[in-house]
């Protein structure tokens, strides 16, 4: 309702409405009293007019002689209506005639006088059009038979308009309205002057100061000297602006220092980028250079080992020949381990650089798991570990990257074999179960059917506080047996990244002394991922540096 109005307009509008209502309410009582006084004066006029009318009736009785039967002595004849000019009429009615009269005022008057024997007359005023009309009734009392007291015999009814009363009421009402308007106008003028000086001027000053502060001019100060709450508000506003100015100065100083630091960071970032680039180039070059001689070393070691084993089969075993075979086996084991480490570093670099391509194809889970067990069986047989394959009949054909799926599951199997403990140490036969099962689709619009492939062993288990850490890069769980097993700590980290690429998740359930279960839960159908958004230069540093160079 008041939206868009200024404070002065709102105050003036509200005060005008309130003052108008107060003035009108204050005028009601004088107007009612004035009307009542005029009506009381008109009552006396009505009495005089009826008295004159009665005298006229007495004169008529003196000429006509004694009253006839059914008439009252010294009263006009009942039912006679005397009509004069200006619409004045008077008549006298007996009690019986008044009871059956059609005029409601007459019947009300009979009821009034019967209920109040001491009343003599009554009057009712009303507006008829633009004139004031008065209805007057005077009771006619007679003495009852055998002196039983007064009895109502009839009434005299007078109806007349009053021009003077109408004129007085209109004039007095006009005077009241003019007086109310004058009072209202004076109140509005006084209110506007006082409000503008005591309220609107300080508010305008505060508004001007706030606008200057919003524009950034913190040197402007509000100057209000009213000695009231507005002055206190002005002083508080000035203190706030002073604090803002001091804070702004401090921020400017901090920003200047930050600019210097930013330039230093830019220079350091450029240096780090160059260093990372050189380091990446170096590592990439060294990695490729290392793989070439390593392949040669491993190849010659395998060739020498085959020659030595051939000599062992052809002749008697000698200590020198056995020692040579053992040395060659150590060389070959170390070379393969170093080659596996370099391959893991290159695989991790490719994943971080986002250069891993997905080759989605149909995969038979049973055949894939059977092939993986065939690959791990020689190592498991060497450590006397029993392997078992459990594939449910309802496992469907899935669409995913077959190579990465085999890489994850084979890593689980190799870890299970690596950390399995012999029967002599645990008192139970070491075993590994490779299980594949179908998981039904759950509730929700985005749910889909999935497949879970689990590797279950009865090895030493993993403590609760390390179950999340083992997926970190280069992390190896503590413990004597864990430390006895070789490894770089990259296998599970690579598996976690590959599982993300396959839109899958890895679950681990393990308890110390009872074994572990590593599970890969993947969808039946893998949808190709959307192309990644371009990274910022800072975020792209690792990929542009070491990771990108290693992935080449």
Cα–Cα distance for residue pair 361/371, rounded to 1 Å? 17
pLDDT in tens, the chain (552 residues): 566 667 777 777 788 888 888 888 888 888 888 888 898 888 898 888 888 877 876 665 554 444 433 333 344 444 444 444 457 888 888 888 888 888 899 989 999 998 888 888 999 999 888 888 899 999 988 876 555 667 888 899 898 888 888 888 889 889 888 988 898 888 888 888 887 777 777 887 788 888 888 887 877 787 777 777 777 888 888 888 888 888 888 998 999 999 999 999 999 888 888 886 676 566 566 666 777 787 888 888 888 888 888 888 887 778 888 888 888 888 888 887 787 777 777 777 777 666 677 888 999 999 999 999 998 998 899 888 999 999 999 999 999 999 989 999 999 999 899 888 888 887 788 899 999 999 887 655 557 889 999 999 988 888 888 888 888 877 766 544 444 555 667 788 889 888 888 889 999 999 888 889 999 999 999 887 655 554 444 343 343 333 333 333
> β-pairing, 450-457 with 360-363?
unpaired
CA distance 241 to 213: 7
Q: Measure the CA–CA gap between 56 and 76, rounded to whole angstroms.
A: 8
Q: Please return the burial class of 69, using the count of CB atoms within 10 Å of its CB with bins 0-12, 13-18 and 19+.
A: exposed
Q: Are strands 398-401 and 360-363 parallel, antiparallel or unpaired?
A: antiparallel
Count the residues in the chain: 552
Judge whether 418 and 457 are in contact, CB under 8 Å.
Answer: no
List the CATH code of the domain at 359-527: 3.30.565.10
Domain ranges of the chain: 7-182, 222-357+539-552, 359-527
205: enclosing H helix or E strand: helix 201-214
């Amino acid at each position: 309702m008041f939206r868009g109005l200024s404070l002065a307009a709102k105050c003036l509008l509200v005060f005008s409405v309130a003052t108008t209502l107060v003035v009108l309410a204050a005028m009601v009582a004088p107007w009612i009293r004035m009307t009542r006084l005029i009506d009381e004066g008109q009552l006396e006029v009505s009495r005089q007019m009826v008295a004159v009318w009665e005298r006229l009736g007495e004169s008529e009785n003196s000429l006509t002689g004694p009253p006839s039967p059914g008439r009252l002595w010294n009263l006009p004849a009942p039912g006679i209506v005397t009509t004069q000019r200006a619409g004045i009429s008077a008549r006298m009615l007996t009690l019986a005639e008044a009871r059956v009269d059609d005029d409601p005022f007459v019947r009300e008057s009979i009821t009034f006088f019967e209920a109040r024997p001491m009343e003599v007359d009554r009057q009712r005023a009303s507006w008829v059009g633009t004139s004031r009309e008065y209805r007057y009734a005077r009771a006619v009392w007679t003495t009852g038979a055998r002196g039983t007291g007064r009895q109502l015999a009839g009434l005299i009814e007078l109806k007349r308009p009053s021009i003077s009363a109408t004129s007085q009421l209109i004039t007095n009402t006009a005077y009241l309205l003019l007086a109310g308007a004058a009072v209202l106008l004076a109140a509005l003028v006084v209110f506007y002057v006082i409000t503008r000086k005591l309220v609107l001027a300080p508010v305008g000053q505060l508004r001007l100061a706030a606008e200057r502060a919003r524009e950034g001019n913190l040197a402007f100060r509000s100057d209000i000297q009213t000695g009231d709450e507005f002055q206190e508000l002005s002083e508080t506003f000035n203190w706030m602006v002073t604090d803002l100015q001091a804070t702004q100065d401090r921020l400017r100083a901090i920003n200047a220092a930050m600019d210097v630091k930013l330039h230093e960071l830019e220079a350091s970032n450029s240096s780090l980028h160059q260093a990372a680039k050189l380091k990446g180039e170096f590592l990439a070059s060294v990695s490729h250079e290392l793989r070439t001689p390593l392949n040669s070393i491993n190849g010659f070691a395998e060739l020498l080992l085959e020659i030595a084993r051939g000599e062992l089969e052809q002749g008697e075993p000698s200590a020198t020949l056995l020692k040579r075979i053992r040395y060659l086996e150590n060389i070959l084991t170390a070379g393969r381990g170093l080659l596996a480490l370099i391959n893991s570093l290159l695989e991790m670099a490719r994943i971080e650089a986002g250069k891993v391509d997905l080759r989605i194809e149909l995969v038979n889970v049973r055949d894939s798991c059977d092939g993986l067990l065939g690959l791990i069986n020689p190592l498991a047989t060497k450590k006397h570990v029993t392997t078992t394959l459990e594939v449910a009949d309802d496992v469907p054909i899935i669409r995913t990257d077959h190579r990465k799926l085999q890489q994850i599951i084979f890593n689980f199997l190799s870890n299970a074999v690596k950390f399995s403990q012999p029967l002599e140490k645990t008192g139970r036969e070491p075993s590994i179960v490779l299980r594949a099962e179908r998981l039904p689709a759950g509730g929700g619009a985005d749910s889909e059917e999935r497949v879970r492939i689990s590797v279950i062993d009865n090895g030493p288990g993993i403590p609760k506080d390390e179950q999340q850490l083992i997926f970190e890069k280069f992390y190896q769980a503590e413990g004597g047996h864990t430390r006895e097993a070789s490894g770089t700590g990259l296998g599970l980290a690579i598996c976690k990244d590959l599982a993300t690429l396959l839109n899958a998740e890895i679950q681990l359930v393990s308890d110390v002394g009872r074994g572990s279960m590593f599970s890969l839960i993947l969808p039946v159908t893998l949808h190709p991922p959307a192309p990644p958004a371009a990274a910022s230069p800072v975020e792209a540093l690792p990929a542009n540096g070491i990771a990108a160079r290693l992935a080449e």
